[in-house]
């Protein structure tokens, strides 16, 4: 039994036991409320540089399985759980959770009263946390001094373009740290997918002759991202249908004059009701949100609000008034997905088909 | 926004029995509270003697009668009812509304069907035309790309061969319209077995038809409870995972909430299927869907759709804190999920927030084979459990242990051991699980059976064995570290009880209690709420864990702690649960804050509306002491059969008043254990007030006089010597020190004269009967007595008022003999599982 | 029994109407000067749904005119009924009109509708929105907003179902 501490940047510490990797780690502390799917969260690039605390009490019941990866590179800096289970359910070359974390050098801490921790974090606006062996002054100094990398996208996004061939329309995906499930969804619609590095410029994208562009989700603060992406979005908007997800959504908002701020407490789960304004329908989708678009900053002459989170009133979807550009904060592709039959990828490809018809000046079909 | 109806009739579920305790009554009670707020008058028709509704609703809104097409039609007309709902009344209620709809009664009387859409009513088969309804619903689901376990009709061998090519063994075959005794499904493992029997099966069917289906007995069972409003807004309230595969009835299976061994992908698949199903069946309100999941491909099939309240909906309500019945009642009164108003203890958006938990709930069924030794304890397709206990914990192991401890009969909180069983017996039990299944599994793991082998034998997910193994490892660790704080802390974390430590260490409760008090992290209580700490809910239900902070503090200096009955086995258990609920209601009326400790998910007394605080914990000494330490209640109420607890609490130095709920078996005096008639009296230290005389009858044989065999009750008693008996009773009671509701029993001696048999506190079942017969709530007066709020002149006033009269009434005990497949000549009071009431027209004319 | 095939389910139909609504906003730069004209019977329900969506998004009531074109059809004999072509009296002069119908086929219905509109006023511009375009045009007419293009033979029947009168939403093809 390895005694370890979870220490917070306001000077509090929680005693627990270490598992997985036993090194010291520092990251932004976020709270994940999914009832299933710990492995998906740990491998989600959105959680790059973050320490994930799970509210789900027993983690590890189904072991780990390569099928459940959201990306090959694991991103999380650490995990905090109440009870860890070392169960290996799949017979084939699967690992239990501790083995999985050890191999990927991710520290875990358990026997933490996660409910008490969550209540504390919510009322004290904790940002950073470390998992360490001793909770002495030195450890707190280091935590306070730690500057979390603003190079998160560079760390998780592809450095080189690659092709996922398909027989249908060509779609460029700007990779800001995408989840594999985005590719899976586009592939399901037979798209010919070209994934390009985050800093690919307008010309570079147009030269690939896509019929639409997806701007992916990814980790980190949108305001810290190099202006290249914003310029690309501004130039692409009048030319091609754009679909932004997560970080991509935040960047589309900024490109259209809105501002983005950090939330007091983020939302990481799939339990919040989200209203689709146009139909008044309510749906549930995976959310992993730390930043939100300022409502007052939205220019109603340029953007329409299309989705809203009913719990915290945050903007979950936008659409341009002038261009075929739309974006959502939540994950329309996540493993827990959307249940209401809303299919934004289909909406995206359908809007491309419409353009194709209009541009070719076709009659009928 | 107003609802479309003003007067709704609720069809009750009848007396409790196997697979049916107080859960529908509980849900209806909660729904009625919502409807009354919305200005809707609620009527109930039921013959369940222990229904809380039949006690709590105003007299003109409760109809004591067996719900049938005729009786319901009569009530609809007489009371000018404009809506009817079957969702609190099991299959019988569904059957009745189906008939009423088919006959055109609902249309003719302009009665709105609530809880199911009239166009979809026929989908849910309960009639003998069962086969047909199943096919209709299967077709509808298949058309909507929802996989179902569907069956195919075949009329000859060529059709049979064609169908067989599409199925994999094992398969099930049933002869269509076969005589009742041959109506079950036959499972065939291979072609040879089938060839040898199929000819006979064709012969058994008068129409020479068979239905064939894939056997899903070995598939994993997972349930989903969901709600949907009329605008199509919908959410998943919870998933439930059964320990046993489909072949064991869900009533008889251990259940985990939420599901613990499904991947995010699987859960997502079930969610998508559930939502599609709710839409395509047009469900408005609640729905519990049972899925069969094929183990290799993980393909889910829908195998049962339950669009009503049942034990699964009750379990997820307690497990999540999501106010399911309240939400559904609002939906049915046309209040949508995003606009409905809940009490202020809930966040405005709670109805819409898909519940997320930071705790786990485990339900363990309770069987009564120790009482009914002649019943076959093997678990299978037919439900046999008489009750259930649940445990909630902040980890899987603790939840499991809380449930296991709550399910066991040991008064001292010790788990039984099966170490003496032979290997053969163990293997037999693994292959053919019985009520001892869980403890046998522990024993097998303890003996070192490989987990994959166990899984193969039992078709149970190996992850669950790992959990059990963790618990066994902790047991080892605790045993090895006698009286060590770290061993105690580790045991605490995994939900062990003080009694278990006493047993492991062979020490006294005091020494364990002392060691507990020295631990750095003491027992803490966490709120059972559906947002995992996100929204600021102020809900009244709690479970214990060992964490950093506790979310409870003393509720009030004027509080009463009521120790619930817990698990229901045979005996007057639903009665005592209703009695407990009534105590809570009456104590609250006296201005006393009420706290209940209970763990039966199907109980009425545990619903949040009835008490000011609920603890879901094992009902054991350590837990009770811990709650008393926090709450410092003014009163503690204990069931009369918990002798060990009674003694232990009496020994404790305490500042509360300890009240033993009747029957307190240490009091009472008996000359002869016979009886035919009794006099019920209210007795204080100074006064004796006779209330009524009740007659007893033995249903099977009029010559039996043993009190145990008197399972029918009726008022007024049919003897000419009532006045004389009453005088004898008053005199007899005055010689004893008994107070409260007292029963003086008489029997006829050989000279055919009435003779005194005994004096005893009135039993719970008979107290409830007395309430119904007199229209007076005697539990209220008892509570007044216990808490020094009593005034004898109130009683005299009631008794002497012109309105006071005995309503001719009959109560008959219900036994689970048919359900358990045993002979009926065991009709004795202690085999009771419920009782029904009837207005006794015979006696009226007497 | 005729073979009926669902080519657009309820969800896809909702999505198509949602997309058309967004396209209308994009193309018209707002909804201030907009009027929807639905061709009876199902075109009216579709126009109502688009109007509902516009109301939700922009909080503006866009008028819906119900258009009866029976007497303008060149492929049917006029029954000589006299009545108003439009039930609602909204001035369409100088407005941007979106003409809404369920299925675009030969183009003759649309031609008749244009003639009928001519009778009630002179709009600034007319656009055409249809849920289904099945081809086989006999007139030089094209839709500006299309829910779905469905290739079909002339022998097939395409039926748009709306829950208001058909109890469910969807588009079905019937084989002859």
Verify whether the Cβ–Cβ distance C21 to A278 is below 8 Å. yes
Model pLDDT, residue A311 = 93
Give the chain C residue whose CA is nearest to the CA of A307. C57
Contacts of B461 in chain A (CB under 8 A): 89
Task: Give the mean pLDDT of B409-420.
Answer: 87
- DSSP symbols for B723-785: HHHHHHHHHHHHTS---EEEEEEEEE-TTS-EEEEEEEEPPHHHHHHHHHHHT--HHHHHHHH
Residue C124: CATH number of its domain: 3.40.50.2020
Which of A61, A119, A336 is closest, CB to CB, to B533? A119
Q: Find out whether B194 and B265 touch, Cβ atoms under 8 Å.
A: no
Question: Over the stretch B169-213, which tens digit does the pLDDT of each residue have?
Answer: 888 888 888 776 676 778 888 888 888 888 888 988 888 888 888
Model pLDDT, residue B655 = 86
Model confidence at C81, in pLDDT bands (50, 70, 90)?
A: very low
Model pLDDT, residue B10 = 97
Question: Over the stretch A289-324, which tens digit does the pLDDT of each residue have?
Answer: 999 999 999 999 999 999 999 999 999 999 999 999
Verify whether the Cβ–Cβ distance C151 to A365 is below 8 Å. yes
Task: Give the mean pLDDT of B10-17.
Answer: 93
Both A111 and A63 in one domain: the answer is yes
What domain range is C63 assigned to? 11-153
Long-range pairs, A318-321, Cβ under 8 A, ≥24: A318/A249, A318/A252, A318/A253, A318/A256, A318/A258, A318/A293, A319/C22, A320/A237, A320/A252, A320/A256, A320/C26, A321/C25, A321/C26, A321/C29, A321/C30
Verify whether the Cβ–Cβ distance B358 to A65 is below 8 Å. no
Give the chain A residue whose CA is nearest to the CA of B230. A281
Model pLDDT, residue B842 = 47
Q: Find out whether A156 and A218 touch, Cβ atoms under 8 Å.
A: yes
Give the chain C residue whose CA is nearest to the CA of A348. C19
Chain B: nearest CA to A305, how far in angstroms? 19
Chain A: nearest CA to C30, how far in angstroms? 8
Question: Over the stretch C86-141, which tens digit does the pLDDT of each residue have?
Answer: 666 788 999 999 999 999 999 999 999 999 998 888 999 999 999 999 988 999 99
Model pLDDT, residue A361 = 53
CATH number for the segment(s) B669-762+791-845 = 3.30.470.20
Indicate if the pLDDT at residue A91 is higher than 70. Answer: no
Model confidence at B565, in pLDDT bands (50, 70, 90)?
A: confident
Contacts of C12 in chain A (CB under 8 A): 346
Contacts of A354 in chain C (CB under 8 A): 19, 23, 146
Verify whether the Cβ–Cβ distance B357 to A284 is below 8 Å. no
Task: Give the mean pLDDT of A138-167.
Answer: 88
Both A206 and A64 in one domain: the answer is no
Both A10 and A112 in one domain: the answer is yes
Indicate if the pLDDT at residue A362 is higher than 60. Answer: no
Other Cβ atoms within 10 Å of C153 Cβ, number: 11
- Among A172-176, B810-814, C26-30, the least confident range: C26-30
* CA pair distance B470, A61, nearest whole angstrom: 12
Indicate if the pLDDT at residue A131 is higher than 80. Answer: yes
Verify whether the Cβ–Cβ distance A272 to B353 is below 8 Å. yes
Contacts of A83 in chain B (CB under 8 A): 394-397
Both A99 and A176 in one domain: the answer is no
Residue A20: CATH number of its domain: 3.50.30.20
Both A222 and A358 in one domain: the answer is yes
Both A27 and A96 in one domain: the answer is yes
Model confidence at B151, in pLDDT bands (50, 70, 90)?
A: confident
Verify whether the Cβ–Cβ distance A89 to B462 is below 8 Å. yes
B114-132 as b/e: b if 16+ CB within 10 A: bbbbeebbbbbbbeeeebe
Model pLDDT, residue B169 = 84
User: The tokens of A198 are what?
Assistant: 């985050």
Model pLDDT, residue B671 = 86
User: The tokens of B67 are what?
Assistant: 């719900």
Of the residues A145, A169, A191, which one is the last residue of a structural domain?
A145
Task: Give the mean pLDDT of A232-242.
Answer: 95
- For B220-355, which CATH superfamily applies? ATP-grasp fold, B domain (3.30.470.20)
User: The tokens of B499 are what?
Assistant: 């009694």
Verify whether the Cβ–Cβ distance B532 to A55 is below 8 Å. yes
Both A98 and A46 in one domain: the answer is yes
B370, with CB counted inside 10 A (0-12, 13-18, 19+), is exposed
Verify whether the Cβ–Cβ distance A343 to C15 is below 8 Å. yes
Question: Over the stretch B229-270, which tens digit does the pLDDT of each residue have?
Answer: 988 899 999 999 999 999 999 999 999 999 999 988 899 899
According to DSSP, residue C86 is labeled B
Contacts of C136 in chain A (CB under 8 A): 364
Verify whether the Cβ–Cβ distance B358 to A55 is below 8 Å. yes
Task: Give the mean pLDDT of B16-31.
Answer: 92
Both A172 and A221 in one domain: the answer is yes
Domain positions in chain B are 7-114, 150-214, 220-355, 554-661, 669-762+791-845
* CA pair distance A149, B639, nearest whole angstrom: 63
User: Mean pLDDT over all residues of chain B?
Assistant: 90
Indicate if the pLDDT at residue B48 is higher than 90. Answer: yes
Q: Is B673 on the interface with A (CB under 8 A)?
A: no
Task: Give the mean pLDDT of B554-573.
Answer: 91
Q: Rounded to 5 degrees, what are φ and ψ at B243?
A: -65, -45
User: The tokens of B310 are what?
Assistant: 């049942």
Model pLDDT, residue B132 = 53
Say whether B554-661 and B150-214 share the same fold: no
Contacts of C133 in chain A (CB under 8 A): 364-365
Give B715's strand partners: B809
Verify whether the Cβ–Cβ distance A279 to C56 is below 8 Å. yes
**Chains in contact with C via at least 3 Cβ–Cβ pairs below 8 Å:** A
Indicate if the pLDDT at residue B580 is higher than 50. Answer: yes
- Global ipTM: 0.91
Model confidence at A364, in pLDDT bands (50, 70, 90)?
A: very low
Indicate if the pLDDT at residue A338 is higher than 60. Answer: no
Long-range pairs, B101-108, Cβ under 8 A, ≥24: B103/B69, B105/B69, B105/B73, B105/B76
Verify whether the Cβ–Cβ distance A57 to B394 is below 8 Å. yes
Contacts of B235 in chain A (CB under 8 A): 273, 284
Indicate if the pLDDT at residue B751 is higher than 90. Answer: no
Give the chain A residue whose CA is nearest to the CA of B279. A340
What domain range is A136 assigned to? 3-145
**Chains in contact with B via at least 3 Cβ–Cβ pairs below 8 Å:** A
Question: Over the stretch B699-726, which tens digit does the pLDDT of each residue have?
Answer: 776 677 788 888 999 998 877 788 899 9
Task: Give the mean pLDDT of B42-61.
Answer: 94
Give the chain C residue whose CA is nearest to the CA of A361. C142
Q: Is B269 on the interface with A (CB under 8 A)?
A: no
Residue A287: CATH number of its domain: 3.40.50.880
Q: Find out whether C63 and C54 touch, Cβ atoms under 8 Å.
A: no
Q: Is B655 on the interface with A (CB under 8 A)?
A: no
Q: Is C131 on the interface with A (CB under 8 A)?
A: no
- DSSP symbols for B589-651: HTT-EEEEEE--TT-STTSTTTSSEEEES--SHHHHHHHHHHH--SEEEEETT-HHHHHHHHH
Indicate if the pLDDT at residue B846 is higher than 50. Answer: no
Contacts of A111 in chain B (CB under 8 A): 493
Question: Which contiguous run of DSSP H or E holds residue A144?
Answer: helix A137-145
Both A325 and A254 in one domain: the answer is yes
* CA pair distance B357, B344, nearest whole angstrom: 21
Model pLDDT, residue B124 = 79
Contacts of A279 in chain C (CB under 8 A): 14, 18, 53, 56
Which of A55, A65, A86 is closest, CB to CB, to B533? A55
* CA pair distance A129, A135, nearest whole angstrom: 12
Both A91 and A237 in one domain: the answer is no
Model confidence at B381, in pLDDT bands (50, 70, 90)?
A: confident
Model pLDDT, residue B845 = 31
Verify whether the Cβ–Cβ distance C57 to A343 is below 8 Å. no
Which of B555, B553, B554, B574 lies closest to B565, judged by CA?
B574
Domain covering B7-114: architecture: 3-Layer(aba) Sandwich (3.40)
Chain B: nearest CA to A156, how far in angstroms? 23
Give the chain B residue whose CA is nearest to the CA of A281. B233
Q: Is B519 on the interface with A (CB under 8 A)?
A: no
Task: Give the mean pLDDT of B551-557.
Answer: 96
Of the residues A101, A127, A145, which one is the last residue of a structural domain?
A145
- For B150-214, which CATH superfamily applies? ATP-grasp fold, A domain (3.30.1490.20)
Class of domain B554-661: alpha beta
Which of A67, A113, A271 is closest, CB to CB, to B548? A113
Of the residues A92, A116, A145, which one is the last residue of a structural domain?
A145
**Chains in contact with A via at least 3 Cβ–Cβ pairs below 8 Å:** B, C
Model pLDDT, residue A28 = 92
Both A93 and A235 in one domain: the answer is no
The total number of structural domains in chain A stands at 2
The total number of structural domains in chain C stands at 1
Q: Is B357 on the interface with A (CB under 8 A)?
A: yes
* CA pair distance B597, B617, nearest whole angstrom: 7
Indicate if the pLDDT at residue B576 is higher than 50. Answer: yes
- The CA distances from residue A77 to A121, A125, A129, B382, B398, in Å, are 18, 19, 10, 50, 29
Indicate if the pLDDT at residue A154 is higher than 90. Answer: no
Contacts of A342 in chain C (CB under 8 A): 11, 15
Which of B618, B594, B589 lies closest to B607, judged by CA?
B594
Verify whether the Cβ–Cβ distance B352 to A87 is below 8 Å. no
Both A127 and A176 in one domain: the answer is no
* CA pair distance B721, B144, nearest whole angstrom: 70
Where are the alpha helices (H) located in B65-190, listed in sequence order?
A: 69-78, 90-102, 105-108, 130-143, 157-164
Chain B: nearest CA to A222, how far in angstroms? 25
């Amino acid at each position: 039994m390895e005694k370890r501490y979870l220490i917070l940047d306001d000077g509090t510490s929680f005693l627990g036991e270490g598992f997985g990797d036993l090194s010291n780690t520092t990251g932004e502390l976020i709270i994940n409320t999914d009832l299933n799917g710990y492995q998906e969260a740990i491998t989600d690039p959105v959680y790059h540089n973050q320490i994930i605390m799970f509210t789900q009490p027993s983690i590890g019941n189904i072991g780990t399985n390569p099928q459940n990866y959201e990306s090959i590179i694991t991103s999380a800096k650490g995990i905090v759980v109440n009870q860890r289970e070392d169960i290996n359910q799949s017979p084939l070359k699967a690992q239990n959770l501790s083995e999985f974390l050890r191999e990927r050098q991710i520290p875990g801490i358990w026997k933490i009263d996660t409910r008490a921790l969550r209540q504390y974090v919510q009322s004290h606006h904790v940002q950073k946390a470390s998992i360490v062996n001793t909770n002495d002054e030195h450890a707190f100094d280091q935590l306070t001094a730690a500057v979390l990398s603003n190079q998160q996208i560079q760390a998780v996004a592809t450095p080189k373009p690659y092709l996922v061939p398909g027989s249908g329309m060509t779609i460029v995906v700007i990779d800001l740290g995408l989840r594999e499930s985005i590719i899976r969804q586009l592939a399901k619609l037979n798209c010919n997918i070209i994934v390009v590095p985050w800093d690919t410029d307008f010309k570079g994208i147009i030269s690939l002759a896509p019929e639409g562009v997806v701007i992916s989700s990814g980790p980190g603060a949108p305001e810290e991202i190099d202006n290249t992406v914003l310029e690309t979005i501004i130039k692409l908007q009048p030319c091609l249908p754009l679909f932004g997800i997560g970080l991509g959504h935040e960047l589309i908002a900024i490109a259209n004059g809105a501002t983005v701020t950090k939330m007091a407490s983020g939302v990481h789960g799939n339990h919040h009701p989200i209203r689709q304004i146009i139909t008044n329908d309510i749906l549930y989708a995976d959310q992993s949100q730390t930043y939100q678009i300022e409502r007052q900053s939205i220019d109603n002459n340029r953007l329409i609000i299309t989705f809203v989170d009913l719990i915290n009133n945050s903007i979950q979807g936008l659409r341009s008034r002038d261009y075929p550009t739309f974006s959502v904060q939540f994950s329309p592709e996540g493993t827990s997905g959307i249940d209401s039959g809303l299919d934004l990828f289909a909406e995206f490809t359908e809007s491309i088909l419409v353009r194709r018809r209009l541009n070719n000046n076709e009659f009928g079909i | 926004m107003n609802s479309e109806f003003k007067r709704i009739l609720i069809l009750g579920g009848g007396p409790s029995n196997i697979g049916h305790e107080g859960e529908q009554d509980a849900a209806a009670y909660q729904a009625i509270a919502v409807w009354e707020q919305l200005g809707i008058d609620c009527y109930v028709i039921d013959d369940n003697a222990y229904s809380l509704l039949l006690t709590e609703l105003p007299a003109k809104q409760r109809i004591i009668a067996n719900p049938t097409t005729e009786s319901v039609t009569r009530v609809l007309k007489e009371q000018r009812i404009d809506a009817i709902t079957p969702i609190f009344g099991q299959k019988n209620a569904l059957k009745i509304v189906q008939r009423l709809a088919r006959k055109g009664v609902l249309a003719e009387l302009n009665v709105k069907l609530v809880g199911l859409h009239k166009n979809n009513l026929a989908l849910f088969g309960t009639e003998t035309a069962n086969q047909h309804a199943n096919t209709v619903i299967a077709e509808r689901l298949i058309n909507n790309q929802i996989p179902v376990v569907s069956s195919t009709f075949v009329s000859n061998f060529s059709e049979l061969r064609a169908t067989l090519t599409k199925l994999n063994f094992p398969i099930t075959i049933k002869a269509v319209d076969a005589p009742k005794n041959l109506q079950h499904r036959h499972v065939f493992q291979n072609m040879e077995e089938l060839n040898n029997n199929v000819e006979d099966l064709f012969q058994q069917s008068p129409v020479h038809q068979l239905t064939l289906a894939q056997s899903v007995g070995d598939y994993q069972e997972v349930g989903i409870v969901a709600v949907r409003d009329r605008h199509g807004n919908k959410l998943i309230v919870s998933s439930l995972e059964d320990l046993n595969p489909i072949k064991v009835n869900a009533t008889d299976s251990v259940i985990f909430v939420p599901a613990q061994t499904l991947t995010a992908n699987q859960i997502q698949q079930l969610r998508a299927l559930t939502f599609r199903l709710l839409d395509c069946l047009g469900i408005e309100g609640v729905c519990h869907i049972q899925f069969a999941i094929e183990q290799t491909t993980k393909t889910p099939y829908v195998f049962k759709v339950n669009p009503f309240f049942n034990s699964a909906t009750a379990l997820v309500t307690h497990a999540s804190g999501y106010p399911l019945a309240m939400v559904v009642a609002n939906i049915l009164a046309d209040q949508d999920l995003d606009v409905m108003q809940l009490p202020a203890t809930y966040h405005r958006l709670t109805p819409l927030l898909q519940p997320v938990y930071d705790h786990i709930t485990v339900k363990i069924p309770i069987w009564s084979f120790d009482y009914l030794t002649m019943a076959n304890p093997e678990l299978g397709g037919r439900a046999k459990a008489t009750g259930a206990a649940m445990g909630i914990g902040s980890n899987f192991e603790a939840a499991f242990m809380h449930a296991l401890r709550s399910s066991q009969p040991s008064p001292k909180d010790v788990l039984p051991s099966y170490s003496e069983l032979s290997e053969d017996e163990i293997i037999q039990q693994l292959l053919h699980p019985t009520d001892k299944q869980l403890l046998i599994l522990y024993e097998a793991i303890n003996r070192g059976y490989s987990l994959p082998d166990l899984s193969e034998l039992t078709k149970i997910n190996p992850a669950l064995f790992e959990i059990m193994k963790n618990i066994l490892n902790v047991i080892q660790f605790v045993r090895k570290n006698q009286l060590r704080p770290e061993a105690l802390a580790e045991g605490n974390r995994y939900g062990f009880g003080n009694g278990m430590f006493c047993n492991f260490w062979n020490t006294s409760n005091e020494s364990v209690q002392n060691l507990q008090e020295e631990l750095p992290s003491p027992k803490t209580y966490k709120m059972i709420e559906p947002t995992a700490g996100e929204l600021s809910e102020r809900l009244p239900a709690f479970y214990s864990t060992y964490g950093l902070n506790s979310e409870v503090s003393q509720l009030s200096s004027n509080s009463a702690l009521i120790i619930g009955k817990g698990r229901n086995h045979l005996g007057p258990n639903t009665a005592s649960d209703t009695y407990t609920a009534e105590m809570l209601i009456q104590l609250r009326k006296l201005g006393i804050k009420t706290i209940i400790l209970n763990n039966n998910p199907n109980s009425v007394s545990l619903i949040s509306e009835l008490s000011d605080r609920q603890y879901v914990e094992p009902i054991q000494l350590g837990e009770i002491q811990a709650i008393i330490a926090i709450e410092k209640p003014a009163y503690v109420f204990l069931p009369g059969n918990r002798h060990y607890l009674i003694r232990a609490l009496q020994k404790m130095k305490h500042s509360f008043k300890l009240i033993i709920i009747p029957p307190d078996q240490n009091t009472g005096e008996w000359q002869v254990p016979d009886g035919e008639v009794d006099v019920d009296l209210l007795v204080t230290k100074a006064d004796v007030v006779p209330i009524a005389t009740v007659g007893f009858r033995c249903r099977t044989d009029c010559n039996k006089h043993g009190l145990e065999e008197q399972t029918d009750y009726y008022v007024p008693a049919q003897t000419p010597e009532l006045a004389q008996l009453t005088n004898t009773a008053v005199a007899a009671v005055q010689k004893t020190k008994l107070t409260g509701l007292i029963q003086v029993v008489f029997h006829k001696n050989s000279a055919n004269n009435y003779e005194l048999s005994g004096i005893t506190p009135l039993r719970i079942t008979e107290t409830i009967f007395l309430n119904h017969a007199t229209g007076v709530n005697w539990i209220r007066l008892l509570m007044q007595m216990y808490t020094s709020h009593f005034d004898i002149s109130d009683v005299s006033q009631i008794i002497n008022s012109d309105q006071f009269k005995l309503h001719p009434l009959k109560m008959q005990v219900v036994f689970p003999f048919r359900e358990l497949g045993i002979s009926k000549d065991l009709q004795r009071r202690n085999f009771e599982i419920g009782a029904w009431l009837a207005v006794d027209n015979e006696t009226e004319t007497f | 029994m005729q073979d009926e095939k669902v080519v657009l389910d309820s969800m896809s139909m909702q999505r198509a109407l949602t997309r058309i609504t967004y396209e209308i906003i994009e193309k018209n730069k707002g909804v201030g000067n907009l009027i929807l004209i639905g061709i009876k019977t199902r075109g009216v329900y579709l126009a109502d749904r688009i109007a509902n969506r516009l109301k939700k998004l922009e909080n503006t009531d866009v008028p819906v005119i119900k258009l009866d074109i029976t007497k303008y059809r060149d492929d049917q004999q006029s029954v000589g009924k006299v009545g108003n072509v439009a039930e609602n009296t909204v001035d369409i002069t100088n407005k941007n009109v979106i003409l809404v119908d369920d299925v675009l086929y030969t183009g003759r219905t649309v031609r008749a509708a244009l003639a009928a509109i001519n009778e009630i006023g002179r709009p600034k511009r007319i656009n055409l929105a249809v849920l289904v375009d099945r081809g086989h045009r006999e007139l030089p007419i094209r839709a500006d907003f299309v829910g779905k293009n469905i290739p079909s033979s002339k022998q097939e029947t395409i039926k748009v179902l709306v829950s208001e009168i058909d109890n469910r939403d969807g588009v079905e093809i019937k084989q002859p």
